[in-house]
């Protein structure tokens, strides 16, 4: 969903975005090359096995490179990668090292090769930035696990008790702020300037390495002031970098070019599913932002009047 800024007509989207055809890739499940797992002697699930929360099928970034010509051939000119930084989860939203591409995905070498090969084909690369929370293995959080209130990093997170319980038993609280009460995802404390500076340095580092954009996870849970700085710093390096916020619900408060070039328009996405179902929708799926429900054509059209 592109944004407009009537107060500053000189602000424009990156020139390539208007004609972007974006293809989302979940790296673990896209294509397994021989490069990564043979080099590292990895053992994975069988490729035909059904997905598992703690299982790895072994798709990697070299596999993405092997399919670039196919993607180009079907009209793709932008790839959005789900998280690729080092993590103990196959989806990699539990980041523990923001400056390293996960070795299972081929490491930094694989990303740099992907950027080069994609750019040769006029394909842009957008990374997933998970900056609201991290994984339990992230070094400042691990430092607190080991040192408790004596850790100099204790203010990187909002702790309610020390020692806290990073792996609480059933019906126990963890003792710190975490995303949607999941102790595996401790939330950053954005009142701490060190946290802001660290995450800004992450954003700048990968833009300088050649990526073309950031898709920013659960952006609405992070202060506006941070996104103002983030967008400025990315554009200062490369004015053509695309900065997109993930906003689940009503995005109007974020429709300001000083924060994002656009947002992920889930409202239209869910509404489209609800409309094309032709009143055959029978799903127990609900969420607090926009539950799936059958829509008439008139109701569907009305959704667009609020964008």
Tokens of 156: 């990187």
Look at 40 and 63; give whichever has higher pLDDT. Answer: 63
In angstroms, the CA 186 to CA 177 distance is 6
Give the containing element (helix H, strand E) for 27: helix 27-30
What is the number of residues in the chain? 307
Integer Cα distance of 206 and 216 in angstroms? 14
Indicate the DSSP class of residue 287: -
Is the pLDDT at 3 greater than 90? The verdict is no
The 10s digit of each residue's pLDDT in 47-71 is 999 988 899 999 999 999 999 999 9
pLDDT of residue 287: 57
Helix or strand holding residue 203 (H, E): helix 193-208
2-16, 51-65, 171-185, 223-237: which range is least confident on average? 2-16
The set of catalytic residues is 217, 246
Q: Which is more confidently placed, 267 or 113?
A: 113
**Residue 224: its pLDDT value, please?**
96
pLDDT at 214: 98
Give the start-to-end residue ranges of the domains of the chain.
1-132+188-264, 135-187, 266-307
Question: At residue 227, what are phi and psi to the nearest 5 degrees?
Answer: -65, -30
DSSP H or E stretch at residue 213: strand 213-216
pTM of the model: 0.91
Q: d(Cα 282, Cα 292) in Å, to the nearest integer?
A: 9
Return the CATH number of 135-187, one of 3.50.50.60, 3.90.400.10, 3.20.20.70, 3.40.50.300.
Answer: 3.90.400.10
Give the E-state strand segments of 50-151 in sequence order: 78-81, 85-87, 95-101, 124-129
As a whole number, mean pLDDT of residues 192-207 equals 98
Query: In terms of Cα–Cα distance, which of 103, 101, 105, 62 is closest to 85?
Result: 101
1-132+188-264: CATH topology is TIM Barrel (3.20.20)
Tens digits of per-residue pLDDT, 236-248? 999 999 999 999 8
């Amino acid at each position: 969903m592109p944004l407009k800024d009537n107060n500053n007509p000189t602000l424009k989207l990156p020139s390539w975005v208007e004609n972007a055809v974006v293809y989302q890739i979940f790296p673990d499940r896209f294509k397994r090359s021989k490069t990564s797992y043979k080099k590292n002697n990895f053992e994975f699930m069988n490729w035909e096995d059904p997905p598992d929360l703690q299982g790895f099928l072994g798709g990697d970034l070299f596999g993405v490179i092997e399919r670039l010509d196919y993607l180009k051939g079907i009209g793709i000119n932008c790839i959005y990668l789900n998280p690729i930084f080092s993590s103990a989860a196959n989806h990699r939203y539990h980041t523990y090292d923001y400056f390293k591409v996960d070795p299972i995905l081929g490491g930094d070498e694989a990303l740099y090769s992907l950027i080069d090969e994609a750019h040769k084909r006029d394909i842009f690369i957008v990374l997933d930035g998970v900056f609201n929370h991290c994984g339990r293995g992230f070094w400042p959080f691990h430092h607190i696990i080991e040192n408790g209130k004596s850790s100099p990093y204790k203010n990187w997170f909002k702790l309610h008790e020390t020692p806290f319980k990073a792996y609480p038993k059933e019906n126990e609280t963890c003792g710190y702020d975490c995303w949607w009460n999941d102790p595996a995802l401790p939330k950053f404390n954005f009142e701490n300037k060190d946290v802001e500076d660290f995450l800004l340095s992450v954003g700048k580092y990968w833009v300088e390495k050649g990526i073309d954009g950031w898709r920013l996870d659960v952006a609405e849970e992070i202060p506006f002031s941070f996104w103002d700085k983030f967008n400025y710093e990315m554009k200062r390096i490369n004015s053509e970098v695309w900065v997109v916020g993930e906003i689940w619900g009503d995005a109007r408060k974020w429709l300001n070019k000083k924060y994002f070039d656009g947002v992920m328009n889930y409202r239209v996405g869910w509404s489209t599913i609800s409309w094309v179902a032709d009143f055959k929708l029978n799903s127990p799926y609900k969420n607090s932002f926009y539950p799936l429900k059958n829509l008439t054509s008139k109701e569907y059209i009305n959704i667009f009047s609020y964008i």
